[in-house]
Amino acid sequence: MNKIVLALLATICISMEAVAGPQVSLSTGVTKNLSGATSGTESDSYSLRIANDLNDKGLNVDFITIQNRNTTSLSLNNQYEIGLAQRIPLNSNVIPYVRAGIGSFMPSTRNSQNYVLIEPGVVVRANSIPVFAKLDYAWGTGLNTDALDVTLGRVAIGYNFTKEVSVSVRRDYLRGDMKQDMTWLQLGYRF
């Protein structure tokens, strides 16, 4: 747990020294558990993401925390992840990126599971209206377990109310050693 707190503090400190202001995203959602002991149940999900550019060349750092509470068993699963991404803009409307992350699942009912992942993706923005879409696909593998080889596909569509405020809806498809479908509503704010 101390490592996670240090990672969060490091991300905040880096954000304060970075090129632009940090972006904070708050999300709420529903997770449908499709495998394992919780198969057939749902979890209420909440997420906080803090991200910031490290330079003006598209290098970005982020910290994500997610809490899932199973609505049947009331057990908790906390997830913490820190990542580093590089954007490679083709133009102002199409922005591919590659992100590497390291994190930990911390269920209340069993030992924590650590993982690494690689995530290529793309953000597409419309010219005349403030709408955007984000597509990404991640491959992850466990570090202290052989039962955490997963893929994660995500599709999001959003709307920028202002340069600072956005809202989006996202659908996640987790497959492999864990199987879940997640639906998220996200509010973003850039300082």
Tens-place pLDDT, residues 53-92? 999 999 999 999 999 999 999 999 999 999 999 999 999 9
Confidence of residue 37 (pLDDT cuts 50, 70, 90): confident
pLDDT at 33 over 90: yes
pTM score over 0.85: yes
Q: Tell me the average pLDDT of the chain.
A: 91
d(CA 125, CA 42): 33
Q: What is 2-190's CATH number, 3.50.50.60, 3.40.50.300, 3.40.640.10, 2.40.160.20?
A: 2.40.160.20
Token pair, residue 78, equals 């906390």
pLDDT at 14 over 70: no
Q: Residue 161: its pLDDT value, please? A: 97
Pair 164, 189: CB distance under 8 Å? yes
Nearest to 47 by CA among 189, 191, 186: 186
Lowest model confidence (mean pLDDT) among 82-86, 88-92, 100-104, 106-110: 106-110
Residues 87-102: what's their mean pLDDT? 96
